[in-house]
Amino acid sequence: MTDILFYSLAVLLVTLSCCAVSLPNMLHSAIALIGSFLITAALYIMLHIEMLALAQIMLYVGGIVVFMLLIILLTTGLGVDDKLGRISAGKWISKGLITGLLLTGMLYFFTENSSDLLDKAVAKSAAIVTIDQIGTRLLSLENGFIVPFEVISLLLLAALVGAVVIARKDAEKTEDLS
């Protein structure tokens, strides 16, 4: 039962990601990206990490993709960019070939050099991570993640201020207004 669910979710995830990457209309690809993020949240629930599913939905679907949709609507109208030339079919096929070769090479490498890490992994499954544990570890001093947590908060603040400064209109115009 779980296998069938996992396989169907994986197939859906791969198709939606392909759509997000290759659809000509940017608006459609952003919506496909929303679908792929929701399916990833479902996979996290299947892996018994509910906290990640919640964070995925709130941060990615609620934040990042909405931000992206706003910028798409601001820049390219309804997602159709007529000024953008299409990539020729030859280039498309050659880049697909490069990526396919990379993928098959890595899959071959990993299946040939099989290790204990992968083979014995099934036996040790079902370690359930609760939200309580994650919160305590995130803020604990011993063996915890307090330093990266604080650094991330500084990084978010710097990125926020930097984004506002970069996206602001030209200096002369704002000085005229004030």
Partner 1 sequence: MTLSHCIALSLILCGIGIFGMMTRRNLLGILLSVEVILNGANINFAAFAHFKAADPVAGAVFPIFVMAVSACEIAVALAIILSMYRSKKRLDVYRLEELNG
Residues 115-174 that bind partner 1 (CB under 8 A): 117-118, 121-122, 124-127, 129, 133-134, 137-138, 145, 148, 152, 155-156, 158-160, 162-164, 166-167, 169
Query: By CB under 8 A, is residue 66 in contact with partner 1?
Result: no
Minimum distance from residue 26 beta carbon to partner 1 (Å): 6
Whichever of 46 and 78 has its CB closer to partner 1, that residue is 46
Binding partner 1 (rule: CB under 8 A), the pick from 8, 75, 77, 108 is: 75
Minimum distance from residue 156 beta carbon to partner 1 (Å): 6
**One symbol per residue from 14 to 33: x for binding partner 1 (CB under 8 A), - otherwise; what is it?**
x--xx-xxx---x--xx--x
Query: By CB under 8 A, is residue 61 in contact with partner 1?
Result: no
Residue 63 and residue 56: Cα distance in Å, rounded?
10
Structure tokens at 38: 């929701």
Q: Tally the residues of the chain.
A: 178
Helix axes 146-167, 131-139, angle to 10 degrees: 90
Distances (CA, A) of 36 to 15, 50, 65, 70, 126: 9, 17, 11, 19, 24
Residue 33 and residue 25: Cα distance in Å, rounded?
13
